Every structure is written in structure tokens, then in C-alpha cells.
Amino acid sequence: MGLLNTLALATLIALISFLSAPISHIIRVGGVFHTPIPTILPDGHGPIYIEDTIHCEDVHHYKPANVLFTAYEKSDGEAVYIFAVNHLPNPVYFHANTSIPAGTHKAASQIELFHHVLGTRTLQHIRAIHHPLIETPNDIYAESASSFYVTNDHFYREGAMRHVEDVWPSAKWSSIIHVRLPVEIHEGREVEASVASTGLWNNNGLGHGRTADEMIISSAVGGELFMSTLKRDSDWNLNATASSHSTPGSVSISESVSFGTVTDNPSYYVDPYATADDDVSGVVVAGVSRAIKLPVTSKDPEGVDPVQVWYARPTGNEWEKRLLFEDDGLRIRTASAAVLVPVEPNGDGVKRAWLFVTGFMSEGMLAVQVEL
């Protein structure tokens, strides 16, 4: 009995040791003991609410036209291509008269491509983009109208194992897919896709970084951003078809930045007034600060979900991190993306910007003025 008791105790100690790090991480990033402290805003600094922006999960700042949306610039600068994730219900699953065929999923997720001429009020739908590798799409990094990257934020679509992915740091089963269209991008042409990156935990959001070939990747429940470089194949031909064997771009991670909360869709702010001695360019990332409660509050129309927006800028070999904005969920419910739009300096030596914040369960986008 003594030996059995010793083995049982040793097993218990080993189990506690094995589980302590993941549990500690979920407690910290999930905000179990976090008490939100809403940011106090001076007069004239907001909040301003933008009408008709309910449940906007992502936002991007198109600098040449100073407008906000998700888009990729066309070479002529007068029009943009817009990519949007569309989680369509799968008709094969929901309209099955008898048994559902094996391997049939509830969602038939695809990417929609639109064309928009700046200054007009309409969008032209170009095509739907679907491929077997696009399974659980979340966010998109566009290189052009014919090349983009998309995250599969989970490996499992539903069930217990999907919940395991949300809480277990070793469940690094998500992926980033590189999708390429031929020059003739309209419907009917073949789509080529390949796996650009694997091995990250819940890779979620994507953003453009400091250079044309830098990609920012977020691990949402990991509370971490990864700075990575796109390894392009300069010989790849955009006229390639699915039958070709050209090597697609891959993603190489160079460094990471950790935060104490969920990190959703990142963006990078380029300081237009930067000097050699004063450059406030940096990464902006938003997230819910009490994610542990989302499974409950997401089912409540009157629920409250506190948020945080972080700003990080490189200083030498380190990243200086600062909490830009926090709310208890009463001014804005959830935050999944944020961007900074510069304010012209007034001569007092302080750099300011308007911070636009939106969330997947927010009633509208919020704007506040912040000092950088």
C-alpha cells in the first residue's frame, strides 16, 4: 500500500505540474480575476459612435483615401478589391433528405471578392473563392486581387476537441493558407492554394506590418502576436493553373510580442510625422479582456463584454507595450479590431490619433482620441 500511495502521490504531483502552466495561462489571458478600468476621456476626445456599423468584426484604414474598410489597393489608386469571409450554411448538410453523407460539414465557408471604385456607393461582386484547404477561415492578408493569405483558426469545426483547441496551448493545429488566382480572376477559373504555415496555437488575425513582406499574425487565445516574413517565389507566374507545380509563398516567423489578454485582428500604424528621433509607429491590437465569460455572455443580448486595446512599438531589440484604451463593455461590447488615424500636430509636441474600435458583438464602431 505504501508503494501504491507513493505512486499515486507522484502521479498527482506530475499531473498538477503538467496542468499548471496551461491553467495559469487561461486564468491570465481569459481575465478570470481582471477588473476592467474604463479609460477616462478628456473633453473633445470622444467617444464618437459610428452609425450602421453593428457587429463589424474587422476594420482597416486605407490611407490614400483616408477611409476605413477591409480592402486591397489597386495599382491605379482609384479602386480597391475587398475580400470578405463568408460562412455559408452547407445546403448538402441542411437539405439532406435522409442520412447526411460522411465528411459533410455544416458550413461551406468561402471567400468573397468584391471590386469598389472609391467615391461610389456600390460594390461589384467578382467571384466566390473556395478550396478544400479553406476550412475555418477567419482573417485575410491580401497581396493583390489574385493572391492572399487566410487563417484557419481551428482544426476542429465543432465538438469537444474544438474546446480543447481553445484552452490547451499544445493544440497548435491551426494553419495559414496561401491562395492564388489566375490573372483572369472571375468565376470559373481554377484556384490554387497551399499551406503557408502551421504549428501556431489558434492563429486568428492577420495584418500588414512594417514592410511590404511583413505579416503580423495573432494567436488569439495565446495572447501573442508573431512578426513574420513572407517568402515569395519570384518566379511564380500569376497565369498558373491548378495543374502547375509552382512553389507558393511560405511564412517565416522572426519574433513575437506577448500581451496579457486575448489578441484578435492586428493592424500597424505608420506615423506620417515620424522623424529620426520621434517615430511612434507601432502595432495596434484589440481583444476582450474577460474572454472566460464569452461562452455565457455571447448568448445574452444584454450581456457585457469588457475590452482592451493595446499599442506596441519597437524600441531597439524590445517592444514597448501600452494600454491605449479600456472599457467595461458599456461603451463598446467586445473588441476584435482597432486602427489609428493620425491627427495633425498642433505644435505642443504631443502626437495624437483617433482610435477606431469595433467588435464582433458591438452595436457600433467607437472612436476616441488618444495620445501616442
Structural domain contains residue 143: yes
Question: Are residues 50 and 90 part of one domain?
Answer: no
Q: For residue range 198-231, what is the model confidence (pLDDT) as tens digits?
A: 999 999 999 999 999 999 999 999 999 999 999 8
Of 245, 264, 283, which residue constitutes the final position of a domain? 264
Q: Looking at the 3D structure of the chain, how many domains does it have?
A: 2
User: Could you tell me if 240 and 329 lie in one domain?
Assistant: no
Q: How does pLDDT run across 234-269, given as a tens digit for each residue?
A: 534 444 444 343 345 789 999 999 998 899 999 999
* pLDDT of amino acid 94: 82
pLDDT for residue 113: 92
Q: Assess whether 210 and 285 both reside in one domain.
A: no
Are 339 and 60 a contacting pair, CB within 8 Å? Answer: yes
* 106 and 159 share one domain: yes
Q: Give per-residue burial for 260-275: e unless 16+ CB within 10 Å, then b.
A: bbbbbbbbbbebeeee
Supply the pLDDT for residue 209.
94
Tell me, yes or no, whether 148 lies in a domain.
yes
* 58 Ramachandran zone, left/alpha/beta (phi>0; psi -120 to 50): beta
pLDDT band at residue 38 under the 50/70/90 scheme: confident
The Cβ-side half-sphere exposure at 179, using a 13 Å CA radius, reads 32
pLDDT in tens, 346-366: 989 899 999 999 998 998 899
Q: How confident is the model at residue 74 (pLDDT cuts 50, 70, 90)?
A: very low
Looking at the fold, whether 233 and 284 belong to one and the same domain comes out as no
Determine the pLDDT at residue 190: 80
Map residue 154 onto helix, strand or coil. Answer: coil
Report the alpha-carbon distance of residue 154 to residue 166 in Å, rounded.
9
Q: Are strands 337-342 and 203-208 parallel, antiparallel or unpaired?
A: unpaired
30 domain-assigned: no
Residues 210 and 132 in one domain: yes
Q: Environment class of residue 318 by beta-carbon count within 10 Å: exposed (0-12), middle (13-18) or buried (19+)?
A: exposed
pLDDT band at 5 (very low <50, low <70, confident <90, very high): low
State the CATH number of the domain containing residue 174: 2.120.10.30
Same domain, 207 and 168: yes
- Asked if residues 181 and 129 have their Cβ atoms less than 8 Å apart, the reply is yes
Which of helix, strand or coil describes residue 119?
coil
pLDDT at 243: 39
28 domain-assigned: no
* Rg of the chain, C-alpha, whole Å: 22
Query: Which distant-in-sequence residues (6+ apart) come within 8 Å of 196 by Cβ?
Result: 149, 175, 176, 177, 178, 248, 249, 250, 251
Q: Which amino acid is at 347?
A: G
Give me the pLDDT at residue 316, please. 82
Same domain membership, residue 78 and residue 42: no
Distance CA 114, CA 112 (A): 7
**Is 20 within the bounds of a domain?**
no
Q: What's the rounded mean pLDDT across residues 90-114?
A: 83
pTM score above 0.75: yes
Q: 244 and 327, same structural domain? A: no
Look at 8 and 263; give whichever has higher pLDDT: 263
- Asked if residue 336 and residue 234 are part of one domain, the reply reads no
What pLDDT is attached to residue 258? 93
**List of long-range contacts for 69-73, beta carbons under 8 Å, 24+ apart:** 70/140, 71/116, 71/142, 72/142, 72/143, 72/144, 72/145, 72/148
User: Does any domain span residue 27?
Assistant: no
Question: Of 219, 237, 264, which marks where a domain is finished?
Answer: 264
Let me know how long the chain is: 372
24 within some domain: no
Range of the domain at 284: 38-58+272-372
Which residues neighbour 304 within 8 Å (Cβ) at sequence distance 6 or greater?
297, 328, 329, 330, 333
Instruction: Give me 10's grid cell.
Output: 507522484
288-344: per-residue pLDDT in tens? Answer: 999 889 889 988 989 999 999 999 999 888 899 999 999 999 999 999 999 999 999
Residue 253 lies in a domain: yes
Per-residue pLDDT band at 11 (split at 50, 70, 90): low
Most confident of 9-23, 84-98, 356-370: 356-370
Q: Among 45-49, 86-90, 119-123, which range has the highest average pLDDT? A: 86-90
| Residue after which a domain boundary falls, among 264, 298, 329 | 264
Q: Cα 164 from chain centroid?
A: 20
Do 92 and 180 lie in one domain? The reply is: yes
> Which of 8-22, 49-63, 241-255, 303-317 has the least mean pLDDT?
8-22
Instruction: Kindly report, residue by residue over 108-150, the tens digit of the pLDDT.
Output: 899 999 988 888 888 889 899 989 999 999 999 998 888 999 9
**Same domain for 163 and 246?**
yes
